[in-house]
Structure 1
């Protein structure tokens, strides 16, 4: 069994929270954690010889990652009653989810998209997220018909007990994206994978 939702960070929407805490369920939605109510120090900036102008806000509708043959619909994710981030339904393994409390993909800031790696014993949309490499591209189609293209800059596998809340949700001086799922060793005693896989990217084109 894998965890469906997690808590991370110190605060979310003004409500205090503890360290990362898993809740056992039937799938892994990525461990997006609890976004902080306030963000402090910005995440490290990414240098670019030709910065891309941020796009206007527009809700995402579809995620494409050519290298992984991913063509996934995107749903909105809000917060559960306990202020953990919702996850896509396990009954739809190809579904990804965008946290609607943050920037839309292409806006200035960190846009967060979650996906299962395994659900109900079946491979899911982000099963191979950990095989991405810097330079790979991610395309997000938005409600206004525009497409935001991101380039992966870094891939990180990190224990869920050390979920990098600030780096994932912190302020950015550029339009960025974070793709999150579960990974690492499966801990049968706990019932889930012990790590998160996080792909970081920056906007390189908006059409």
Structure 2
């Protein structure tokens, strides 16, 4: 299935196996007895999940669900070894952790905060899942402490950490371990502290959600005429570094095709205006990919922006207002591959109330936004009062 996403009526749920001495499990999900929409149980929820593994987020209608845990490969009709009821909040996210030792096994719901980190930072928490560490101190070199005295089977709060390569130091009693990690700007990260197979501790870096390294501000000027005052885009050091780290190699987008909107156009990289707003290519026939964000097909919200018109003629994204949910968008990449997205919704909003969090906020899967102008034309500004944003999810 495609990447999960939450909205005002759904929430996100995933399953984590954090019990060191518990064998692999199957996890089934059904509506709680109080009722609710049907949800098919099965491996697509979590099948043969082993220690240290975390399933992907699944989007579910908000409400209560009964969770059943059985040894991997067990007949689904067999009574579960462990069960619980979990609430899935509208617009929120939960990790349901199988935690503790086998003798004291528990299902623990953990609230996940997937809101955007500040520019240039990652937001990090620690999940203590190593039975050999009764308490745990976790420190980032040249950075903040992430946990102090954290008990086994507990979680820390979230901490803002400067983005980039770092060393995480784990201390439990007299024992210490140093583990290198790379914390990308704009990511929400869970550090799973686990018992290493050969003894000692190890860390698994789990990227929960991804946002652009630098978030644009305000609406996008993507229509009008050459009489409008020129704006000078900038590619700041932060944007340039993020573009190199996130899209180096053949994953770069080179073309976008949207049959239902009549779009078949080249794609080039774009940055920010001096105001911090997203800029669009000077060529009205070309779409611009925001290079400080994820490349299309990678986790996070990839963003393409283009003009709706120019000097009275239709431009690259003139037909976006014709799109409806289910319409297909294809992005061709420099390596000859393509990724396909399906439209979820099309939103028009005033530029002075641009939905920044919805467009650029962290998401757990690969998503796409197409942005252009719409609404009433303002002759004084030489552009339109609104922006049109197409939200889409990866389907192949």
Q: Give TM-score scaled by structure 1 length.
A: 0.71
CA distance in 2, matches of 1:173, 1:182: 27
Contact preservation (8 Å) 2:250, 2:334? no
Aligned partners of 2:274 and 2:314: how far apart in 1? Answer: 28
1:118 is aligned, of 309, 314, 331, to 309
Residue ranges of structure 2 left out of the alignment (5+ in a row): 1-117, 122-213, 229-237, 239-248
Contact kept in structure 2, 1:117 and 1:126, CA below 8 Å: yes
In the TM superposition, 1:52-71 aligns within 5 A as 58-71=251-264
Q: 1:85 aligns with which of 264, 271, 278?
A: 278
Structure 1's consecutive aligned runs of 4 or more residues displaced over 4 angstroms after TM superposition are: 11-15, 17-25
> Root-mean-square deviation (CA), in Å?
3.1
For residues 18 and 123 of structure 1, do their structure 2 counterparts lie closer, same or farther at Cα, with a shift above 3 Å needed? closer
Higher strand share: 2
Map 1:147-158; keep pairs closer than 5 Å.
Answer: 147-158=338-349
The answer as to 2:354 corresponding to 1:163 is yes
* Mapped partners of 1:144, 1:22: distance in 2: 31
Larger Rg: 2
Distance 1:178 1:20, change over 3 A: closer
Please list, as runs of the form range in 1=range in 2, the aligned pairs for 1:165-180 lying within 5 A after superposition.
165-180=356-371
Q: What residue number does 1:40 align with? A: none
The structure 1 residue matched to 2:225, chosen from 26, 32, 35, is: 26
Q: CA deviation at 1:80?
A: 3.5
Q: Point out which structure has higher relative CO (alpha carbons under 8 A, 6+ apart).
A: 1
Matched with 1:193 is 384
What do residues 139-194 of structure 1 show as CA deviations (whole Å, max 9, x unaligned)?
00011211110000000011111001111000001100000000001122333211
Shifted more, 105-114 versus 73-82: the winner is: 73-82
How far has the Cα of 1:22 moved from its partner?
6.9
Q: Which residue of 2 aligns with 1:143?
A: 334
Deviations 1:37-93 (A, max 9, x none): 9xxxxxxxxxxxxxxxxxx9811000001112211000000234443333111xx33
